[in-house]
Chains A and B, each alone.
Chain A
């Protein structure tokens, strides 16, 4: 009888071990749905984690453009066309307010807001080593380039995920390295996309080349680069968007709970499995 009970307990233990691991995977998918639900119900707070900055660039040819970088703390959000349009409209308005529609190197001090605003400029040189540097506050990085021929395309691009933006960068890299866009499948597709939005592919290519050449080779002078933080203006504007549920389409991934659960479950699974295996071999040795 005792032997049967022991065997049953062993069987139960192995089932429990497997269940823990499966539960973790289950939690992973479960959390994703919950996150989506939370986001859709975040009426007034969904914009509060927003912070963004405008970068002004001036290249060697005195061509100036502005880059808007938006960062969303806490979760990845995917935004739709309506959102992009509203943001763009607002952006142009803000430019008018702060007098940056003209090429200017002067900082509009009255609109310079200091505070908790993150720049999305990721420096690989920052080597501050601290455990838990990424504590799971997800951020969406959306970039806009204005006052250049491909701003519409850029907006469309950013209506998709930031991951796709990386793909775009790769395509742009291929283009600037001198490949003929007509003979490249990806580039042909890209050209057709550009033409669809009414932009000349050649000027687009040149602009991209200019942008990437300058940013990759650090031709931009530091003094020509200004960071203008406009969080306060954005906070005023967000009231207009509060009613717009359609601004948030979906949560694209990831969820910390899910992957953390899998990692934790994996660790526990390994420990318990080793205990289980070594326990069995020890019993055999004793016998």
Chain B
């Protein structure tokens, strides 16, 4: 009898915990949706403001374009992509800064992961060139002709380092924070792994709001989501992102200034066969590195413990209620929460999706417009 009472109490506590957790997840899901919607709107508003600044002919000094670019990058990357989600998560979800960082996958990672990420970054850059080229050819076949220039200018010195800061360092961290942080954690609690990869990739592509980049960034996004989920840390994807942007930026400057590697892009164009070979080699090395990364981050002890916990919970719960076995029960243990192997799957309704769909609408519309106008 005593045992039955204590079991009843335990079940009631468990049910209360489930309701609380469901409510928390719902709030988290909506909060992240709001953040994504605000980010997508913020990026667009910032573009508009800067185009006005430009049309007004505001004189920002001799290196007008660079100064404007710097302001734009700082506002966009730090303001919209980093501080905005940070504060929303902190104040709406009532989390401490440390909790927000953990929620955003800012966790320590091993040296091995970092070393592999550096190598992966180089492979990623090469493969992205191929994907980008295919996409550009496809767009060209549709008559698309971008009016933006992607070449660097023939300036030296600290402008280059400043450019590295705005093109590689800031996006490397801030974009990853926004898209592989709280957003990824949240969608990971809603969808299965394959869906998370697809949604995460598409989100990354669409948030560029530019037809020229949407495809290869989406493909790259899938990869970055994968390594973040694999390592449970944002840092490997930050490193890969930084290396990709950094190399691209360096080569653009090198081309203009005759630095080492200045003929890189031209030599690719001139030697398609060799370029294809390099691509295949890099792709193979990248896949191999991914396998190593997967092996390194596989924790057999943790998996075994989770399996045991899961089994014990299933047995105890099934004894009382053999029909209903909600998945949320399985993650009520903090130990299980700390791993991503067993997750609570929260099912959002249309109301919860409102901001996500709004963000989707904003990003898709602006991307389509960039195609129509050839921006």
A76 to chain B: which residues have CB within 8 Å? Answer: 147
Chain B 199-241, CB within 8 Å of chain A: the 1/0 string? 0000000011110110011001000000000000000000001
Chain B 259-274, CB within 8 Å of chain A: the 1/0 string? 0000101101110000
- In the complex, A267 has a CB within 8 A of chain B: yes
Are A260 and B47 closer than 8 Å at their CB atoms? yes
Known: A74-B55, A264-B41. A271 touches B248 (CB 8 A): no
- In the complex, B354 has a CB within 8 A of chain A: yes
Shortest CB-to-CB span from B345 to chain A, Å, is: 21
Are B44 and A129 closer than 8 Å at their CB atoms? no
User: Interface stretch among B84-92, B150-158, B186-194, B304-312?
Assistant: B150-158
How many chain A residues touch B (Cβ–Cβ < 8 Å)? 67
Are A133 and B148 closer than 8 Å at their CB atoms? yes
- In the complex, B120 has a CB within 8 A of chain A: no
Number of interchain pairs (Cβ within 8 Å): 234
- In the complex, B50 has a CB within 8 A of chain A: yes
Known: A125-B129, A134-B210, A267-B40. A45 touches B57 (CB 8 A): yes
Are A131 and B81 closer than 8 Å at their CB atoms? yes
- In the complex, A237 has a CB within 8 A of chain B: no
The interface centre, meaning the residue of A129, A140, A257 with most chain B CB atoms within 10 A of its CB, is: A129
The interface centre, meaning the residue of A71, A119, A125 with most chain B CB atoms within 10 A of its CB, is: A125
B217 to chain A: which residues have CB within 8 Å? Answer: 129
Complex alpha-carbon distance, A88 and B43, angstroms: 40
B55 touches which of A75, A117, A218, A270 (Cβ 8 Å): A75
A45 to chain B: which residues have CB within 8 Å? Answer: 57
The interface centre, meaning the residue of B81, B153, B357 with most chain A CB atoms within 10 A of its CB, is: B153
- In the complex, A135 has a CB within 8 A of chain B: yes
A125 to chain B: which residues have CB within 8 Å? Answer: 129, 132-133, 265, 268-269
Shortest CB-to-CB span from B36 to chain A, Å, is: 11
- In the complex, B252 has a CB within 8 A of chain A: yes
B37 touches which of A75, A138, A267 (Cβ 8 Å): A267
- In the complex, B286 has a CB within 8 A of chain A: no
Are A260 and B48 closer than 8 Å at their CB atoms? yes
Shortest CB-to-CB span from A145 to chain B, Å, is: 17
Chain B 37-69, CB within 8 Å of chain A: the 1/0 string? 100110111111011101101000011111001
A121 to chain B: which residues have CB within 8 Å? Answer: 149, 151
Of chain B, the residue at the smallest CB distance from A48 is B57
Known: A131-B208, A132-B76, A274-B354. A73 touches B151 (CB 8 A): no
- In the complex, B350 has a CB within 8 A of chain A: yes
- In the complex, B369 has a CB within 8 A of chain A: yes
The interface centre, meaning the residue of A45, A123, A253, A269 with most chain B CB atoms within 10 A of its CB, is: A123
Of chain B, the residue at the smallest CB distance from A255 is B51
Q: Which residues in window 145-195 of B have CB below 8 A to A?
A: 145-151, 153-155, 167, 171, 175
Are B133 and A133 closer than 8 Å at their CB atoms? no
B143 touches which of A166, A253, A271 (Cβ 8 Å): A166
Given contacts A49-B54, A118-B149, 17 further A-B contacts (CB under 8 A): A75-B55, A124-B135, A129-B128, A132-B210, A133-B148, A133-B213, A134-B146, A134-B148, A135-B50, A140-B147, A163-B145, A254-B369, A257-B52, A259-B365, A263-B362, A271-B358, A278-B354
Question: Would you mind naming 25 contact pairs between A and B with Cβ atoms under 8 Å apart?
Answer: A74-B55, A115-B154, A121-B149, A128-B244, A128-B249, A129-B213, A129-B217, A131-B207, A131-B208, A132-B47, A133-B210, A135-B72, A136-B54, A137-B51, A138-B147, A163-B145, A166-B145, A254-B372, A263-B361, A263-B363, A266-B365, A267-B358, A267-B365, A274-B357, A275-B354
What is the interface of chain B, defined by CB distance below 8 A to chain A? 37, 40-41, 43-48, 50-52, 54-55, 57, 62-66, 69, 72-73, 76-77, 81, 125, 128-129, 132-133, 135-137, 143, 145-151, 153-155, 167, 171, 175, 207-210, 212-213, 216-217, 220, 241, 244-245, 248-249, 251-252, 256, 263, 265-266, 268-270, 349-351, 353-355, 357-363, 365-366, 369-370, 372-375
- 8 A-B pairs closest in CB distance: A124-B136, A267-B362, A128-B248, A136-B51, A271-B358, A263-B365, A274-B354, A254-B373
